């Protein structure tokens, strides 16, 4: 059944779509997905991937169809097999376990996450207690804490900061997860600076450019929309933050995996719908959502370009070497 026939009997009040730009894939996600795709092209299936390569169900399903095998732990991978580390990074202990199994590893960790790992390792080597601002249980946080588990403490809120106790308040540093709410993180860091005036931080902001830009675009759109729809999976931290940013602006907002999850009650009486997508959501999902509204008769569709992005990351060295060898032959 077509979208038109499914929706034709439903009264439609939506007249306009506003598409946030930038949205969707960031450079780190694009690099990670390409890493798995090109490794499959070069070596064939199976290619093992520790955890989800990026936090998007559709991406994982498509790569699974091509022959990627996603595992929770490197102990599940056959000895000597090709294994890709996800964009979220891994603790040093994971790398050690992979070496002990003789795995051929390809590291698809986002370079901006690698930057945070290096900062944490440097602060630990210099004898600091490190405060990591992040979400408990997130894979990026687990990987960063693994750099110096005996020296890193996690805080998730200003209240956590108020309750924090450290051995030496004059030897304290902080780093942050890359996909946090910009405003919320600024408040937590400000509270850290109030409590620990001697605290030192990273040379440059840890929250990644894509997270910052997508939140800025949602803020720009929110005031002009009656409701915002953010495409992203539930375990995608940056996607969840986009919904929170829109709601903080006073705009109703919902996280959806794809167009099939749109609910009629969200649209009732609404005229302008804003659309964005998390940094791990492929653009075809946005196109499908736009088609859903076109099928309802919405013709006024505009893209609001807030910030231009031109960031690109090189593929991991083993993948570049595959390509160089193929070109040479």
Which residues does residue 304 pair with via DSSP β-bridges, in sequence order? Answer: 20
- Residue 23 three-state SS: coil
Single out the catalytic residue among 119, 139, 140, 147: 140
Query: Distance between CA atoms of 183 and 275, rounded to whole angstroms?
Result: 21
Contact 293, 271 (CB under 8 A): no
Instruction: Check if 321 is active-site.
Output: no
Contacts of 62 (CB under 8 A, 6+ apart): none
Handedness of CA 291, 296, 300, 304 (dihedral sign): negative
State the burial class of residue 41 (Cβ atoms within 10 Å of its Cβ: 0-12, 13-18, 19+): middle
Could you tell me whether strands 82-85 and 300-305 are parallel, antiparallel, or unpaired per DSSP bridges? unpaired
Q: Contact 318/31 with Cβ under 8 angstroms? A: no
Q: Decide if 180 contacts 245 (C-beta within 8 A).
A: no
Specify burial of residue 43 (Cβ count, 10 A radius: 0-12, 13-18, 19+): middle
- The residues that are catalytic are 140
């Amino acid at each position: 059944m077509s979208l038109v026939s499914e929706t034709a009997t439903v009264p439609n009040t939506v007249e306009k779509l506003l598409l946030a730009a930038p949205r969707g894939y960031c450079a780190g996600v694009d690099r990670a997905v390409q890493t798995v795709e090109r490794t499959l092209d070069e070596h064939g299936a199976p290619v093992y991937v520790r955890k989800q390569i990026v936090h998007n169900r559709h991406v994982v399903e498509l790569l699974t169809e091509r022959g990627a095998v996603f595992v929770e732990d490197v102990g599940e991978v056959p000895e000597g097999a090709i294994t890709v580390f996800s964009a979220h990074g891994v603790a040093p202990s994971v790398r050690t376990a992979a070496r002990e199994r003789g795995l051929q590893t390809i590291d698809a960790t986002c370079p901006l996450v690698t930057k945070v790992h290096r900062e944490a390792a440097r602060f630990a080597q210099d004898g600091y207690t490190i405060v990591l601002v992040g979400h408990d249980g997130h894979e990026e946080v687990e990987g960063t804490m693994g750099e110096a588990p005996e020296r890193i403490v996690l805080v998730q809120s200003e209240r956590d900061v108020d309750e924090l106790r450290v051995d030496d308040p004059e030897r304290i540093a902080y780093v942050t997860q890359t996909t946090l709410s910009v405003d919320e993180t600024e408040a937590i860091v400000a509270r850290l600076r109030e409590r620990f005036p001697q605290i030192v931080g990273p040379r440059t902001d840890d929250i990644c450019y894509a997270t910052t830009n997508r939140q800025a675009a949602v803020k720009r759109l929110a005031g002009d929309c009656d409701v915002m729809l953010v495409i992203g999976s539930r375990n995608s931290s940056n996607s969840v933050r986009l919904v929170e940013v829109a709601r903080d602006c006073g705009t109703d907002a919902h996280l959806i995996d794809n167009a099939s999850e749109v609910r009629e009650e969200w649209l009732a009486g609404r005229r302008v719908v804003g659309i964005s997508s998390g940094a791990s959501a492929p653009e075809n999902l946005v196109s499908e959502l736009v088609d859903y509204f076109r099928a309802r008769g919405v013709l006024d569709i505009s893209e609001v370009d807030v910030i231009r992005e031109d960031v690109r990351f090189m593929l991991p060295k083993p993948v570049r070497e595959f390509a160089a060898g193929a070109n040479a032959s």
